[in-house]
Structure 1
Amino acid sequence: MAYVRQKSIRSTLNKSINYIVNPKKTDDNLLVSGLNCSINPKVAYKQMLFTKNQFSKTDKVLGHHFIQSFKPGEIQDVNIAHKIGLEFAEKLSNSNYQVIVSTHTDKGHIHNHFIMNSVSFIDGKKYDSNKKQLENIREISDEICTNYDLSIIKRNSKNKANSYKEWSEDKKGNSWKSQIKNEIDKLIKNNVESFEDLVNQLEENGYEVKYKGLKNISFKAPGQIRFTRGKTLGEDYTEEALRERIDKEKVRFIKYKNEDKKQWIDYDVYRFKYKKGSLANNIELTALIIKNLIGINNNTRNKKVKVNRSYSLNALKELERALQIIDKRNIETKEDITENINKCNQDNILINKYIDKAKTQLKDIEKIEKLIKEYEKENEKLEDYNKSIISRIKYKKEIKNIEDLKESLSKYNINNNKDAQLIKNKRETYEEGINTCNQKINENNICKNEYLELLSTIEKVNNKTYVEKSKEIEIINDNISKNEYER
């Protein structure tokens, strides 16, 4: 069955579009479609802005984000899910609004995303978003799902969802609070990137979350009528606590007892949680650990940890440089790096082929220009030539040379001064092209060197080289039991 939820976009419409068309979530954009707009996120954003400017409606709500979640396992074919999404988008917008439709396959269940412009490109009317309208579009979704033999959520006479149990994976009889807590715990355990990522994943799973500008965060599970405040779920489910829990998942703490001061000290060691493919995250964590190692080393009361400070500072510079490259080159995974290195190599091969071809053309042009200069030189000798018999005899050699040069030039289709000027223009074009190509090769080589440098840094991060070489731990008391260590 499908469950539909909606949220209004009041800022960063472009970021919302970029999020739903992420190639890694949409099978390399094969599962992205545009209704009355492009599937290119930048172009679609500009088209939506053009519509807003055309009707002078650029304030307040910029767009609407709809999420259509399907019961895990109920749809096996992602193309069917995308087809359902397209039908839903057409009926949702009545073909009057620009909508980008995407189907995400990166989670444990298939779900559709829709970013719809808040302003109609037909008449400039703003989409009216309210509870009644939301119920209407849920009925539209139910109707489409029924046509595809999918289950739907039963509703009572007030048009409210009676229960989410029919498509929830939670155990029968669980309360709403238990269901929400279980979902949050599962997502945090599965390593969400940030608090905002947690909210996004909850929403993708059909949950609603309210926290912006509010004192208390609130949650509503699919099918639940009222919101549940986080603090009523327990002290671990407030916004502050959730942010702290997510941060602690990134770095695992090992505590050891300071025998001298009889107290426990937090010590960030290299056994933190690396996330597969998350380059920036892993590099930042490595830098965090090294910084903390330096901080611990500055504590003269702590005699158990020694830090190679010189190496640590150099390591931090390398890590900072790596993060700059990642940000500059928009790198997300290690595969991105290898792909870009290959692209640089392939580009340079093609560019060098063009340069070789251009140089060959320049050699021909040099021959032609040499002939033209010889022709002009011979012509200058004939200033006194008046076609008389005496002149013909006097300039017999020059005339013969000119005729030979004309014949040679005609082979290159050079018959007049205009043709000669075209040759000059061609030479300048090829020379300019070669200079541009050489600049591009230099740029590619700079990029390639940055990528190779980044690969080297990542290798050190993954092998824990930075942390291992930055720290030296002396266990003064070998009798410290393993029970004194805890995560």
Structure 2
Amino acid sequence: MHMNKGKSIQQCLKDRTDYAQNPEKTDGGILVSSYECDPKLVEEQFALAKREYQHNTGRENNNDVIAYQIRQAFKTGEITPEEANRIGYETAMRWTKGRHAFIVATHVDKAHIHNHIIYNSTNLDCNRKFRDFHLSGIALHKVSDIVCLENGLSVITPRKPSERSKRTVYPQRKSYREEIRESIDICMEQKPKDMEELIKLLQEMGYEIKRGKYVSLKGRDQKKFLRMRSLGAGYREEDLEKVFSGESAFTPDPKQQRTDENVYVKPEPKVDMLLDIQAMIAKGKGPGYERWAKVHNIKQMAQTLLFLEEHGLRDYDELSEKARAASERFGEITEKQKALEARLVEIAALKKHIINYSKTKDTYAEYRKSGYSKKVFEEHREAITLCKAAKEAFSKIEGKLPKIKELNQEYSEVLQEKKKTYAEYRQAKQDMKDLQTAKYNVDRLLKSEQSKEQDEKQKTTEQTL
């Protein structure tokens, strides 16, 4: 780890160690251990050792390595987080021979448990530095393998280059704009009345909103805001305003959507509704419209008959039952999806309260010891307010308070279920639309036939008279 331009040694060290000790990744900071340093003050102690080294040797630290990092991963499901942290500590001790201070942070936010080991380049006596050497990576690999084998863990079996499999197809990553477009799709299914209601739904999904000349959005993992006008046709503010005003339907440009198998692509409509030609003519439509509408109705009736044939629907009662069942299933999936989305919001809020509480509980304890002094409250208003809000949220939870790791796991499971449900939701909606449209067209056709029969009977009666 080298110094970043424009930053001090301590600032650079803090950036690295803060990431390693992130409470959301280390079970609230429980899975962090250290040797000859305090994890909370590690950047200050590392920097102090470097100042002492400079004083003892007279050498400058310019363009020098300030620390080293080891990343050590384990096979999924083979080790507990606590055991992984112990293995990481033992590996670091053997590698540094106990001559350098280090921290071991075990991350549990991914499917595979892994360690981030950061050790000071300056030794404990502050008179020498660790120097990387030729093939040090191979030497470190062997040290890690020995520790893992001694503890009955798996290691990667070395293979010749000719035996190694090469990945030629790389999974395509969704861009942030694609994720925003998918989120807008989900919100638009809930039929918002205007842009304000759409923005409110996006905020409930976890997006930050920035207003100005243009509306900008930022998701949970985004580093910067993205303007809605950059999302492409169908998702720009002016396009959505036309949808809300009734000028156009919500039909985003398919060129903006990915077409790989994991992303939903809106299918072409199989069946469309028959038009009421007489009603439209009565509103002032001309002969040209009448000719087009008749051709359209003939095509759609042919499509309807093909649809009924493909699905084996030759009985009207069966068609009615299928349309009713499809409508009920669509309603059930919609309710399930809303429940999953609500749970995601609850988990995110609870995680935030747990993290806030761990940061502010000591301040609140001092406030309570002071007899709830107004002076202390004003000095630490924000921390005390956050702690109170967290305690109030905890009081509403029945049973034991879950850990960050458990919440992360549940959030991941609920999110996967929501994605799966959304695919089912899309399919259920399409099935319901196709069946109801087919039933509507059959009803129109039967009504038209009955009307023709009545006209024929009336003509026959008039001729007889």
Q: Identify the TM-score tier after normalising by the shorter chain.
A: 0.3 to 0.5
Higher helix share: 2
Higher strand share: 1
TM-score for the superposition, normalised by structure 1: 0.42
TM-score for the superposition, normalised by structure 2: 0.44
